[in-house]
Chains A and B, each alone.
Chain A
């Protein structure tokens, strides 16, 4: 039969010869599991690190960002579905970009780090692992922007070469993960705790989708879990939903909803709660959790002022959690 089982993520796909897993890009070629998008990204850009979003990781720096096709989730609200919900052969453009070239161009563009982002880097795991290893040898840092739907063993192995992650927490609700994303919550919570255990700098993004995951009671429960299991200093980004893909019937997230979510998280005791995909908000700025001093002022993805002194508050000398 020559079927193969992919044990990278909790789907544990059984893939027939010539077929692909749920992610569309991990394929069975003659009884061998092959990552078909290795070295073949479809998006390669230099972005501000704030766009990932990472607010406590080399603020104001640029980050060399890349993605291949494919994803092991199928969120109905996916904002990058033209990348994530396709296999490599359906992309309009595919670059020839072996790991050495990614590192070469990152250095040429004077970026201090590389982001594996836009779609889902878990599905191009081997490409991330090899590129990150080479990048680290050259003094570069590596960032994983992910939904965190991966099994423990490969994740721990990847953490050895990853410096920071922004991981999506799509909802604090198994039903939402099952019905809206085609996945499950428990492995994502496990991934978040593994990132912390392995010393990877962690920030979390929560896309607030009107009527589907904007219940403040559940959001409060999620914030309590983050506080108890991950710590108060893990930044949480509440991000604005825009009608997209298969959820075009819903309106964009109202600004007041995002402000309420942020207040709930702060009331629970999280130190750094941000509002994203919307500009001109206090929720874009970083404040000292000890004395309330404004430390980093942002507008959109731009850092307008950074008052940190080697990661410390200039007024009370508090060391802010992050990578500075």
Chain B
């Protein structure tokens, strides 16, 4: 069944789509620039 969208509905769907963050090719991750790392933050890792 063909359901026509009015302009307002179309714009709303477009807005929703723009909010969805699509994953990158490599396993759904965004790589964080190293400049954004906090090297002095407490961390759980041993060794």
Residues on A facing B (Cβ under 8 Å): 40, 43-46, 51-53, 64, 67, 79-80, 82-83, 87-91, 93-97, 101-102, 105, 109, 117-118, 145, 166, 205, 277
Q: A-contacting residues of B (Cβ < 8 Å)?
A: 26-29, 31-34, 37, 39-41, 43-47
In the complex, chain B residues whose CB is within 8 Å of the CB of A64: 39
Q: Main secondary structure on chain A at its contact with chain B?
A: mixed
Question: Is the Cβ of A46 less than 8 Å from the Cβ of B47?
Answer: no
CA distance A45 to B45 in the complex (A): 10
* Least CB distance, B34 to chain A, in whole angstroms: 5
Q: Are A95 and B37 in contact (CB under 8 A)?
A: yes
Task: Let me know if A46 and B45 touch, CB within 8 A.
Answer: no
Chain B neighbourhood of A89, CB < 8 A: 26-29
Contacts of B41 in A (CB 8 A): 45
Q: A89-B26, A89-B27, A89-B28 are in contact. Are A43 and B43 (CB under 8 A)?
A: yes
Q: How far is the CA of A51 from the CA of B46 in the complex (A)?
A: 8
Known pairs A67-B45, A88-B26, A95-B33 / 20 extra A-B pairs, C-beta < 8 Å = A45-B39, A45-B45, A52-B47, A64-B39, A83-B45, A87-B27, A88-B27, A88-B29, A89-B29, A90-B27, A93-B32, A95-B34, A96-B31, A96-B32, A96-B34, A102-B34, A109-B39, A118-B45, A118-B46, A166-B47
